[in-house]
Structure 1
Amino acid sequence: MLQTSQLLIQLMLYVFLPLWGIAGFIDWCCHRATRIEYTSGLRESLIHSLMGIQMAVPILLCLLFKVNVLIMLICIVAWLAHEAVAHYDVHYAAPKRHISVWEMHAHNYLATLPMYMLLLIIVINYPVFIKLVSFNWQGEFYLQRMPYAHGGDTYLPYYLSFMVIVCVLPYLEENLRCLFTALKHPQVKL
């Protein structure tokens, strides 16, 4: 029988992480439908890419390395930065283009899933969290590679391939579409 921490890891790997990618893809579909390249343009598109990177870094660190104070601190800072940028994103985009109900629902998932994953990382690694909040950081600022970490040796290539298909390529396409539109139509703001 699986231990509670193993079940929580499975929940993160096979439910929360894929859902986050799917929500990102739905968000991209909404951007295409509202023709972001003619409304809020390249700036908003780059903001979306920044938010993806802000979450990709802690996700990859947690998948590749043992969670210690350094990695948990990076996770918390990345989540806080993601929240700040997400707030700015909506503030910037709302007056420039229609944000549909579908896009609002996608944003709900894109905002809450990282928080749930952060909380699960804290629960799974509770002794590390205690070290973090008690400033017992001695010997905790290193990266210890975990060979065949969470999910075995097959999870990471499949997950990364999935994310390239549903998030990286669509948002790269969005960035290029916005850039080319701005270059082709100078009246469209970058």
Structure 2
Amino acid sequence: MNTDALLIQGLLYVFLPLWGLAGFVDWCCHRATRIEATSGLKESLIHSLMGLQVGLPILLCLLFEVNVLVLLICLAAWVLHELVAHWDVHYAAPRRHIGIWEMHAHNYLASLPFYMLAMIAVINWPVVVDLLTLDWAGRLSLVPLEAPHGGAGYLPGYLAFMALVAVFPYAEENLRCLRHALKRRRTAE
């Protein structure tokens, strides 16, 4: 197995699942600190935004060839994710307790996207050179992969895994926070 194939396997079977699991631990911490009664819906929606900011580049890299366009989207999403992550903690810290487990989850949620982006850059080094030298001609379109990474069953399996550990839990968090906000509003009236 060559180095690129090894890095791709590491991305698919180590880093991507770890990112999902870190998100699940973070959700468990939010639930334990009763986010709905403290920082509320605003913070929960921030979490969903951050999931989309990392989820979109992941899907792009799983479905399309990494070219200048995909790499630019990945870089922009990573920068925006970092900015929103800082905003999230700045917003949440005075409103609720952020415990040690949540801090550890945040460490993984912040560092894993950076490591994945670095690995994608190493695997696709000629694309990085094209990006840096502004040789973008013909490299700004979405080109579907001929063969999916990890084989035909990987993407459905990964999406199902992410639905269980991230999409459904964070949707539940949004709904829980929304219900609590509506109940609080009715009580105040």
TM-score normalised per structure 2: 0.97
Identity %: 66
- Report the more deviating stretch, 140-149 or 88-97: 140-149
Structure 1 CA distance for aligned equivalents of residues 43 and 132 of structure 2: 35
Letter in 2 for 1:84: L
Structure 1 CA distance for aligned equivalents of residues 186 and 5 of structure 2: 54
Structure 2 CA distance for aligned equivalents of residues 23 and 81 of structure 1: 19
Structure 2 CA distance for aligned equivalents of residues 35 and 148 of structure 1: 44
Shift in Å at residue 54 of structure 1? 0.4
Q: How does 1:88-99 map to 2 (within 5 A)?
A: 88-99=87-98
Letter in 1 for 2:146: P
Tell me which residue corresponds to 1:64. 63
Structure 2 CA distance for aligned equivalents of residues 127 and 118 of structure 1: 15
Tell me which residue corresponds to 1:34. 33
- TM-superposition CA deviations, 1:24-65 (whole Å, max 9, x none): 000000000000000000000000000000001100000000
Tell me which residue corresponds to 1:110. 109
Letter in 1 for 2:14: V
TM-score normalised per structure 1: 0.97
Tell me, yes or no, if structure 1 residue 5 matches structure 2 residue 22.
no
Structure 2 CA distance for aligned equivalents of residues 114 and 24 of structure 1: 12
Structure 2 CA distance for aligned equivalents of residues 49 and 79 of structure 1: 15
Letter in 2 for 1:145: P
Letter in 1 for 2:140: F
Structure 2 CA distance for aligned equivalents of residues 14 and 168 of structure 1: 19
CA RMSD between the two structures: 1.3
Moved over 2 A (4+): none
Q: How does 1:1-190 map to 2 (within 5 A)?
A: 2-186=1-185
Structure 1 CA distance for aligned equivalents of residues 171 and 146 of structure 2: 31
Structure 1 CA distance for aligned equivalents of residues 53 and 180 of structure 2: 26
Letter in 2 for 1:32: R
Structure 2 CA distance for aligned equivalents of residues 146 and 153 of structure 1: 12
Structure 1 CA distance for aligned equivalents of residues 62 and 186 of structure 2: 44
How many correspondences in the alignment? Answer: 188
Structure 2 CA distance for aligned equivalents of residues 45 and 177 of structure 1: 9
Structure 1 CA distance for aligned equivalents of residues 33 and 157 of structure 2: 31
Structure 1 CA distance for aligned equivalents of residues 77 and 148 of structure 2: 22
- Report the more deviating stretch, 44-53 or 178-187: 178-187
Letter in 1 for 2:100: V
Shift in Å at residue 187 of structure 1? 8.3
In structure 2, the CA distance between the partners of 1:167 and 1:184, relative to structure 1 (3 Å rule), is same
Gaps of 5+ in 2: none
Structure 2 CA distance for aligned equivalents of residues 9 and 187 of structure 1: 51
- TM-superposition CA deviations, 1:164-187 (whole Å, max 9, x none): 000000000000000000001128
Letter in 1 for 2:142: L
